[in-house]
Amino acid sequence: MKKTVTRLADGRELLYYDSRTDTVRDAVDRRPLDAARTVSEIRRDPLLGDHVAVASHRQGRTYHPPADACPLCPSREGRLSEIPADDYEVVVFENRFPSLAGDTGRCEVVCFTADHEASFADLSEEQAALVLAAWTDRTAELARLPAVRQVYCFENRGAEIGVTLGHPHGQIYGYPFVTPRTEAMLRSLAEHAARTGGRNLFDEVLAEERSKADRVVLEGEHWTAFVPRAARWPYEVHLYPHRRVPDLPALGAEAREEFPRVYLELLRRFDRIFDAAGSATPYVSGWHQAPFGDWAEGGPARGDFALHLELFTVRRTAGKLKFLAGSESGMSVWINDVPPETAAERLREVASR
């Protein structure tokens, strides 16, 4: 892999990731952009302890542009985009309308392919491996920023999720705090270790799912994907490497090599849940990684956290969405219409032949 670092016209960083080491990236951003300015503030809820990002400049972000004005497609004569090159493999750049910036963290955009009509599931294993390499590199780089405590690489797909750009892409958030979801995992991890004489909760969850197998969706030599016993979403899958590591940079070579095949199969099954022809299922997919810094003083070590990917869809059946109404939105008490065992069975039924 070759990484080329450059700058956009307004000073934001852009990085090309190429599979060939002899690729030259020297295109210049010719847009007349003013220097990037953002106004982002982190406020803390005194009752819940949660952090909320206030970013009023995002009201003006690009919203459902036509395909011929997509800001994530390569630049062409007469149509300059966020990517100066006329073609690319994988590109990462600082978000023009970030939720977090400067002292409040960092937000980046990841373009998986130059093909506007593709999706992640359409990528080859080689292309998916390059995206994994980009996620890994960005995690390691953002970990060095003083303002960043945790890195979250994720993809939102589909208008039903709220995606405003149709081009296949994801995002990377560098949070300046440990997120509430991760804090809850760390509490459970510490409580389980205290209760069981030091046993690791992540290890035991994975071992139990693999031994019972009724919620296992697919299993490789180094990865297992399963529907969790208390899944919140109608179709929700967690993907774990068999050897526990805290983050993407710590992932072993064998697991890294197998990941593209396993993950692409999982995404393709999601596209077949509701339609045998494989229509695009809206989903959120994201990597849960251990935070950085002194987050675990008196608690579990960073290596006790288990890197894993969580994938879910807001669709509960063909033509119907799972809305977060009173109980979920108001009280954080989830109600799932699809039993996890049923969801796992369906995801096994739509396996590639």
Whole-number pLDDT of residue 38: 79
Rounded to 5 degrees, what are φ and ψ at 12? -70, 150
pLDDT at position 342 is 97
DSSP assignment of 296-336 equals TTTS--GGGS--EEEEEESEEETTEE----IIIIIH-----
Q: Is the pLDDT of residue 4 over 70?
A: yes
pLDDT of residue 162: 87
Confidence tier at 240 by pLDDT (50, 70, 90): very high
Q: Look at residue 270 and tell me whether its pLDDT is greater than 70.
A: yes
Helix (H, G, I), strand (E, B) or coil at 341: helix
- 268 pLDDT above the threshold of 80: yes
Note whether 2-175 and 180-349 share their fold: yes
pLDDT confidence band for 297 (50 / 70 / 90)? low
Partners of 49 in the β-ladder: none
End-to-end CA separation in angstroms for the chain: 32
> How many other CB atoms are found less than 10 A from the CB of residue 174?
25
Res 345: pLDDT: 97
Mean pLDDT across the stretch 191-216? 97
Q: What is the pLDDT at residue 61?
A: 66
User: In a 3-state reduction of DSSP, which class is residue 27?
Assistant: coil
Helices (H) and strands (E) in the chain, counts: 6, 15
Instruction: Name the pTM for this structure.
Output: 0.95
Instruction: Please say if 57 is a catalytic residue.
Output: no
Could you write out the DSSP letters of every residue in 149-181? SEEEEEEEESGGGT----SSEEEEEEESS--HH
Convert the pLDDT of each residue in 133-158 to its tens digit. 999 999 999 999 999 999 999 999 99
Say whether pLDDT at 295 is over 90. no
Is pLDDT above 90 for 37?
A: no
Confidence of residue 58 (pLDDT cuts 50, 70, 90): confident
| Average pLDDT of every residue of the chain | 93
- DSSP class of residue 21 equals T
Taking Cα atoms as reference points, which of 78, 92, 71, 70 lies closest to residue 12? 92
pLDDT exceeds cutoff 70 at 339:
yes
pLDDT of residue 177: 94
Count of Cβ atoms closer than 10 Å to residue 147 Cβ? 16
> Which residue in the list 57, 64, 169, 238 is annotated as catalytic?
169
Q: 180-349: what fold?
A: HIT family, subunit A (3.30.428)
Q: Which CATH class is domain 2-175?
A: alpha beta
Name the band, by pLDDT with cuts 50, 70 and 90, for residue 281: very high
Asked whether the predicted pLDDT for residue 277 surpasses 70, the reply is: no
Mean local confidence (pLDDT), 306-311: 98
Mean pLDDT in residue range 205-231: 97
Residue 294 has a pLDDT of 62
- Structural domain boundaries in the chain: 2-175, 180-349
Residue 209 clears pLDDT 90, i.e. is over it: yes
